[in-house]
Structure 1
Amino acid sequence: MFLGILITFAQYEQEVIAERIRDKVAAAKRRGKYCGGVPILGYDVDRDNKKLLVNPDEARTVQYIFRRFIQIGSAKKLGQKLNEQGYRTKAWTTKKGKVREGSEWNTAHIYRLLNNRIYIGEIAHKDRSYPGEHEGIIDRATWDKVKAILEDNKPVKVSMARTKMVAPLKGVIRCGHCGCAMGPTYARKNGRHYTYYICQKDSKRTVSRCPLKRIPAGDIEQAVIEQLSAVFRTPTLVAKTFFAARDIEQAERERLFKQKAQLEMELSQAREQAIELMKPGNDQPSKTEMLTTVNRQAVELSKQLTHVSERCRAYQGNSITEQDVSEAFQNVEGFWEDLFPVERNRLIRLLVDKVEIRETGIDMELRTNGLTTLIAELAGLACEVTERRASR
């Protein structure tokens, strides 16, 4: 019995200690203090003062990831691009001196980074956030754009992932006769894939009464693109897009050449280390293992350097001009073909509020408040298209 009483008191004391720790952590976070955990990309941890310090090089990488996600709109595609370009997750050292190497990016890493409020200078605790003591590295406008895309992706994420073709007008196209949404459907004949938009209300009726029923996606999407062409050809939009694209291109060029110089330096150091290990007088016990590790690092660095060098060459002598932007918007159909399906979806959702189909024609309503964001989107896409064409 006495042993049972001791166990009860010990358990009670343990619960009290745990409660005090939780209260202390909550109070610290309310004051904006960093309370530990795995270090995140973009910051180094000042263990003595228990604060987050901005790592300038990593901060630029974080800003690049946020900017590219706004342009691509897909965590999976962004992760693939980051891995192709040689980016890795945060590498850090534990208190005991154990090195944790960075790994390849996956969608979990991307979503965790994009949802981390630390990047806007806040500390989150449960469902609330508080101003942090550290400096934010992402501005509120960029954060809001990313959150809007993440929110927009939620309801269509599964359905889009399971289809080989993405319907750009999904969510904005409506049947003017029945007053309901029209959804995409797909058919395959003789090995070809056909996309249609069908009246969702009529598809549930036992007897069809809608004169529209089903319309080919290609025809209606082409008609919408033709109407958007007038918006894209506006001189003010062309000029603003060019200036924004020039700034993005310059920042990307500087980042790439800096990354190239860093890789060249690391590769040179790896080669020097290999030469040092291969000297006749070097009799280190772990010489063979160290040489294998250095050679593996050199091969990986060479691959990354080759990829970065190719991207640098794509930017050399191919600076975007106002004429490039103007010509791209004059030939909207060609510009549209150069975009990925997810990029087409983003532009349509950003600019078009509603497309209503009637027997007599098409009524289209634009989002007037989306033009400012459209300029940033088009600027990024213009740089992307220029780089893709240069690398062909």
Structure 2
Amino acid sequence: MQKVRACLDEYNGMKVDSMGKAGGLAFLWRKEVTCTFRSTSVHHMDFNIHGIEVSWRVTGFYGWPAMSDRHLSWELLRLLCSQETDPWLCIGDFNEILYANEMKGGNCPQWQMTNFMEVVDDCGLRDIDFEGYEFTYDNGQQDEYNRQSRIDRAMVSQAWMDMFPRAKLLHLDREWSDHAPIMVILDRGEHEEKHRTKLFRFEQEETFWRQRSRALWLRDRYRNTTYFYRKASQKKKKNCISRLVTDDGRSHVGTEAVSKVAIEYFKGLFTSCRPTGFEDTLTVIDGRVTEEMNAPLREDYSEEEFIAALNQMHPLKAPGLDGINVLFYQTYWHIVGNSVIQMVLDILRGAPILDNLNKTLIVLIPKKKAPDKIVDFGL
């Protein structure tokens, strides 16, 4: 540790010695950062970080490696949680997995995972979504003797997630160790918000958060409360699909990989196999639509039908790819109405449709808790 600090003059640091070849903790921070020591042991290091605008708590954690001692890890976590705390980040090697799919080439008793889940729930912690290879530990053996698992992770309180809503965890490449380094990227989202190009801003901030949170019982003129913001942030986190598992058992992590899986799935789902030979089957099926019923369905489209349909739509749901929702058209119909009606009626009457108008957003609705396959989502 002394050699490491000698190479990093701009850092302060503390360490806990290893137990033989196992364990050992070190905590380094830049000298311009104000850091307050809380407590330490051979299994944890606990500090408060004080920034210009925010203060929060970080705990480096090393879980007991022996299965028979695993309960000691959970007792320590509960003890740390019981202490008065700022928004909390707990990161490290927990020597345990939360879910069965976090292990490859082995198995973990359900009761072990349940014990871990219970302490995580008791402490009000949640995972930071990760990017990179899904397993952080590899025993280095080959073929059927290889064991991989995700025992290194970063978990945070809701208050910490509210402070850093765009934080993410990176699983870096392993080099000389059997563990992959993990790195938390802190992002409060302020830079992105300041520089984001806004197409329109014709509603107040409260209306924006009302749409984000889907708390439709709130109305304009209510001020943006902490609850309101938290509800929106929780829904965004819940709606995020950070990983999908394909039929071959492979796990695809990150926005690009997940998007590719979804696109390929829906291409196959919505591509016709061009079936033939079904005419004979149709001839023996009794018709249910009479000529009288079919007559109004075959009538030409009218402007009145279009306006009636527009007014029946919810003003704040289902924005398009351009971010504009129905409220815009309902509010500014006296300006854009004639052009929109003419374009739509031309298309309905057979005119070619512009390529961009044929694109849409597919909303995936989970069919079960913690979905991890594309078939676990409905439209």
Q: Which of 1 and 2 has higher RCO (CA within 8 Å, sep 6+)?
A: 1
State the TM-score, normalizing by the size of structure 1. 0.18
What TM-score comes out, normalization by structure 2 length?
Answer: 0.18
Q: Higher strand fraction: Structure 1 or Structure 2?
A: 2
